[in-house]
Chains A and B, each alone.
Chain A
């Protein structure tokens, strides 16, 4: 059938490609990183260099974790043309459940006593299960009973916030178990050596992934980018990872705190001894979740179906994809991530409070949207959402450091959200994607 078309000469490949195209870097991502760096530099200038200190960068990362965790799940939710307004409230319910597990159920009802090693794992398992079940239930209401996601989760916003209140009789619950607190940020870090080991492993894994991807392309005779481009990307990744580790290691644990930990072990601290915090466990958790979610998005059928359904629900159905079951899965993932966020958020406070996670739904949606997730569905990236969360958190803590009052901070964040989406619209029009 193709006699006529066969004679058409192969279009000559444009040999002249610009630098970014050669490196195959997503220009959108680059723009976001640029915006993030700009925010950091401006605040660093305004605070006379206090913004870009190891201490503040450390705080920034642990403050970002909770919203960033949920934002990765919100990407899937929004990509499938849904929305979840209940994440902050669901976080509160999961937090309340885990707090009650730690302070009442496991120590008293099950009789293990306080500070038993089983408390934290049991609390976490029950909390995650609760998040999964509640999320799946909301997904069922949306997928099978076809109630709009906006309505189901708006209801959830009211319900789960107050279920949390009911579970705790409206009280602040704590202090939470010591092991549980390890996931809160500053109370649990890898230490300097551990962080370096992690950094080196991360670099090795990154380089391996680059090589493996190139090999796979070569095996199928696809075009590959020049070797120097691969080397540049590998070098940038290496510097970024090790630089991040170095910064977190440079934040020293206060001397008095070190002394106490030596005394706890019956030792005397040597003169002039210092130790850095290193990477917090909560940040490790975020990295792990981000990797898993990226794998799901790009390398699994589930992820493929999520994006296909967002792009064209009817086509997805006609291709034999069960879009209803898919909705349940997406909201279940969201619920589990809310529970993970609940662990980080309550462990960081060392208490469960009634207002934990209040307004988080808006921050999470904003992070995903600033990160390039389109509300029309079908488009969004996990790393974009995490970067979006980071940009928002930088803006807020930066303004707090400069001395901007909280209400004004919110005004700025609101404006930035709208502006970011407008810039995205302009960008998409220009690039025609």
Chain B
């Protein structure tokens, strides 16, 4: 991936010195990373390295113990998912974010329903909007009236991605977006990420798959035991370097 990202201006997001402890264990320990418009930053690490906790502080799902979050150069007050949405931060979780018993439209608009002047939810309008946006992303999707429990992993993922796109996300957090997907669907998500980059959206990508990270990301921030090992430009390091960072916590010679 060509990295002609302009990193001279203000970062889209700046996580500064974030800390989070659970009962004496430092899940995230003074971590600072940043993200520029049109950039994909991979957040890597073993299970329990703290990458999900770090991202959850940005998405408002977890409160932080200390540290600051800056969005577009301004200090952001993010204490709940609602706050995060106000800063146009959207999260795509692999398993958590859909209510299985609701249909695609109901999920897409969950928490942000379109209502009629009388205050009732306007299901017809929401379904029409869902058809528009999902028709763009997955043209052969038809099952608008079945609960999402009956959809395939890829279809569920497109509901989640459509939600982020529909609400004009500026900052996207993707938590292993392709973990449950087949080859074709994974390719689809990769193409989508490319398209979103072109629109100047910044993406944090949590992933385990080193190949995927090399292919999709501009930079990678590696975490181990709650601490940041380092942030590197993926084109300037080898896969072995990345693995070394993840497994040994060893920063390669060529640092970004």
Contacts and interface: CB of A to CB of B under 8 A. Distances in A.
Contact of B113 (A222, A301, A432): A301
Given A319-B110, A320-B80, A1 B101 contact: no
Interface string A1-20: 11001101011000000000
Interface string B108-137: 001111010001110011011000000011
A314 interface: yes
Residue among B80, B121, B137, B194 with most chain A CB within 10 A: B121
A312 interface: yes
Given A1-B192, A217-B124, A378 B139 contact: no
B186 to A, nearest CB: 13
B87 interface: no
A315 B97 CA distance: 4
User: Which of B80, B99, B137 counts the most chain A CB atoms within 10 A?
Assistant: B99
Q: Interface centre among A1, A8, A299, A310, by most B CB within 10 Å?
A: A1
A166 interface: no
A432 B99 contact: no
Question: Which size bracket describes the interface of A in this complex?
Answer: 35 or more
B140 interface: yes
B81 A320 contact: yes
Contact of A319 (B97, B100, B119, B188): B97
A275 B81 CA distance: 62
Given A312-B96, A312-B100, A321 B110 contact: yes
A234 B145 CA distance: 23
A216 interface: yes
Contacts of A175: none
A309 B106 CA distance: 12
B195 A316 contact: no
B153 interface: no
Contacts of A433: 147, 150
Interface in A297-311: 299-301, 304-305, 307-311
Nearest to B98: A315
B61 interface: yes
Contacts of A315: 96-99, 107, 110
Nearest to B144: A222
A219 interface: yes
A295 B121 CA distance: 10
B17 interface: no
A309 B194 CA distance: 33
Interface residues of B, number: 42
B127 A301 contact: no
B138 interface: yes
B241 to A, nearest CB: 31
A379 B101 contact: yes
A429 interface: no
A309 B101 CA distance: 10
Nearest to A376: B101
B239 interface: no
Contacts of A321: 110-111
B94 to A, nearest CB: 12
Given A1-B191, A220-B125, A432-B150, A316 B99 contact: yes
Interface string A204-220: 00000000000011011
A307 B111 CA distance: 12
A1 B91 contact: no
Given A6-B139, A222-B124, A315-B110, A307 B80 contact: no
A84 B85 CA distance: 34
A8 B141 CA distance: 11
B120 A300 contact: yes
B70 interface: no
Interface of A: 1-2, 5-6, 8, 10-11, 216-217, 219-222, 295, 299-301, 304-305, 307-312, 314-321, 378-379, 432-433
14 contacts: A1-B137, A1-B194, A1-B195, A220-B125, A311-B102, A315-B96, A316-B99, A318-B91, A318-B93, A318-B97, A319-B111, A321-B110, A378-B99, A378-B100
Given A5-B138, A217-B124, 16 more contacts: A5-B139, A5-B140, A8-B139, A11-B142, A311-B100, A312-B99, A315-B96, A315-B98, A315-B107, A316-B99, A318-B81, A318-B96, A319-B97, A320-B81, A321-B111, A378-B100
Closest 3 CB pairs of A and B: A311-B99, A319-B111, A311-B101
